[in-house]
Amino acid sequence: MKVINQSQKTLVLPTGETIFSGQSLEVDAFDKEHHVLRAWLEVGLLKLSDTKPKKQGSE
């Protein structure tokens, strides 16, 4: 999963990783329910992007 910093400031994740403004970071485990991360997601400071290729369904 990719985490994207949409803030104008540098953010430090609870895991210790630093993400600069506009930078994206590939993370293996991301706890969307962590109170800080959930707040940042809700106000749009962070964005999550699934980097796994999506399967196309056959119709």
Q: What is the pLDDT of residue 57?
A: 63
DSSP code for 17: -
Strands 11-12 and 46-49: unpaired
Q: What is the pLDDT of residue 21?
A: 97
pTM to 2 decimal places: 0.75
Q: What is the pLDDT of residue 44?
A: 96
| Cα distances (Å, whole numbers) of residue 50 to 8, 36, 54 | 22, 20, 9
Q: What are the residue boundaries of the structural domains of the chain, listed by start?
A: 2-49
- The model's pLDDT over 1-58, given as tens digits with 9 standing for 90+, comes to 899 999 999 999 888 889 999 999 998 877 888 999 999 999 999 999 886 655 566 5
Helix, strand, or coil here: 55? coil
Q: What is the pLDDT of residue 53?
A: 54
Q: What is the pLDDT of residue 5?
A: 97
Radius of gyration of the chain (CA): 13
CB 6 within 8 Å of CB 25: no
